[in-house]
Structures are given as structure tokens and as C-alpha cells.
Amino acid sequence: MYSTIELTIEGRLARLTMNRPESMNAMDDTMMKELADAFESLSSHNEVQVLIINGAGRTFSAGGDIKKMIDPDAPMDIEKVMTDVSRLAKGLYELPQITIAAIHGSAAGLGFSLALGCDVIIAEENSKLAMNFIGIGLVPDGAGHFFLKERIGVPQAKQLIWSGDVMNAETAKGKGLIDQIVPDGSVSQASEELAQKFLSAPIAAMLASKKILHEQKIGELENVLRMESEQQVAMRNTKDHLEGINAFVEKRKPAFIGE
């Protein structure tokens, strides 16, 4: 059914794995669409109460696929991509399940936005986490602005977005960005144990509270996604974005000019 992700359902527990390990689970246009489709399909699976999201191979997700962004043979249609990114974020936020992000390796850019959209974030101690859109002259998408503000407030969200700093798990937890740190190699087991803990609790009441807290914010989320889409399309046409992309490909420090 999917070519870049795997979705399995076992009773009340679902597992979604981003499955482009050769690309560090970087999200191309196909994966973005498939993630959006998967989240929308899960919204009708009322029997499923917990969803674990992880990444195949050596990392959670490196974010958007920069190589695909500049592929001259099959360039990504940015407006279509942003439609799927918005679907992805809204679908995740509206899920009627408790969502657990199980991070190993790294969660960067859109991969970090995806993790931040989950109810609980578990990360291995040597994970690298970054909202690093600024490095290529872009703004966070996938509701990165919304999810950051929900977790750490506007002042800290601005500082994190503007700096693009790469954080280890301890630093991220200190800022309130993740919920639990586990030893390297153990995030899969830890996420399964937490899922079982939730499934052994009065989870119907927990999900009712999630619905109450989330539904009142849907309008705000939709507005953020609209603005992110507009600004991302605009940023893709700036000289700084082109310089950021070229610097990334050439593995050098970018020279931004504010245009």
C-alpha cells in the first residue's frame, strides 16, 4: 500500500515506520503524501488507541529531502508538497490515538516537526535534534511553529528557530522539547513499554482529554499551516535559500545576504 513508510496494526496498537533508510528517512514528496494519507486513514480506526512512530535504519528522520528539492530531472512541486505537509501535520494533530515518537539517531527539520506533533517524545541519549530550516533560508513547516509554541512558548520557539542549533537529548529535554531520554539502542523497547502502559490505563479518559485540549486549537493550527505554506513558497524564491542549498551541497558555510 505504501512505498516509503510501513504501517502495521495489531489490536489497539499501531506502528508507523518511515522507511527510506538509505536516505536517513529524508522525506521526499512521496513520503510526505504517504504520511498524510496514513494519518488520515488512522483517524477512522477507532479501535486503535496508541500509535508509535519511528524510523528504519540508523536515524528517525533527517527532515525534508534536500537532494530531491534540487533534482533537475524531477523537481518537487513546492505548492503541492506544502499541501501534503499541511495535511500531514493536521492529520497527526487530530489523531484519536496517543502518539509516541521514538527517536534514535537524529530528528531534524520536518522530521523534528513530526516528532514535536506527537503526544510523547522519547529520544536516545545521543540523538541529535534540530529545527534547522534556517540553515537553508527556509521557515519551519509541518506546523513546526505551532508545535514549538505549544511545547515551549513563543520566546523560546523564536530563539530555537532563528538559531537552528543542533541539540543532544539532554539539552532538548532541559528545554521541554522531549519527554524521556533512554540509553542508545533502547528506544524501540522503551516505546513499546510505554505503549503497553497506556493500554493498561483508563485510556478512553486520556483520549477524551486529548480531544478536549486539541479541538480548541484546530483553527489556530490551520492558520499557522496556511502561513507556513505561503512563506515557504516565498522563501524558496530568495537568494538566501539558493545560497543555503548550494552551500549544503558543496559542504561549505553559506554566505547569506538577507535577500
| pLDDT digits 0-9 by tens, 21-54 | 999 999 999 999 999 999 999 999 989 999 999 9
pLDDT at 231: 96
pLDDT at 216: 96
Q: Model confidence at 6, in pLDDT bands (50, 70, 90)?
A: very high
Share of the chain above pLDDT 90, in %: 91
Of residues 60 and 46, which shows the higher confidence score? 60
pLDDT at 71: 75
pLDDT at 167: 97
Choose the weakest-confidence range: 117-121, 195-199, 232-236.
Answer: 232-236
Q: Model confidence at 104, in pLDDT bands (50, 70, 90)?
A: very high
**Location of C-alpha cell 509516541:** 100
pLDDT at 30: 95
> Are residues 2 and 54 in contact, defined by beta-carbon separation less than 8 angstroms?
no
**How does DSSP assign the chain, residue by residue?**
--SSEEEEEETTEEEEEE--GGGTT-B-HHHHHHHHHHHHHHTT-TT--EEEEEESTT-SB--B-HHHHT-SSS---HHHHHHHHHHHHHHHHT-SSEEEEEE-SEEETHHHHHHHTSSEEEEETT-EEE--GGGGT----TTHHHHHHHHH-HHHHHHHHHH--EEEHHHHHHTTS-SEEE-TT-HHHHHHHHHHHHHTS-HHHHHHHHHHHHHTTHHHHHHHHHHHHHHHHHHTTSHHHHHHHHHHHHTS-------
**Location of C-alpha cell 522539547:** 177
pLDDT at 163: 97
pLDDT at 78: 84
pLDDT at 67: 80
pLDDT at 257: 95
Measured between alpha carbons, how far is 16 from 93 in angstroms, rounded to an integer? 15
What's the whole-model pTM score?
0.95
Does pLDDT of 69 surpass 80? no
Section 47-69 average pLDDT: 94
- Interval 135-173: pLDDT, tens: 999 999 999 999 999 999 999 999 999 999 999 999 999
Opening angle at CA 172, ends 197 and 214, nearest 5: 55
pLDDT at 81: 92
Of residues 130 and 46, which shows the higher confidence score? 130
Q: Model confidence at 1, in pLDDT bands (50, 70, 90)?
A: confident
- Interval 175-221: pLDDT, tens: 999 999 999 999 999 999 999 999 999 999 999 999 999 999 999 99
pLDDT at 87: 98
- Interval 70-87: pLDDT, tens: 777 777 788 889 999 999
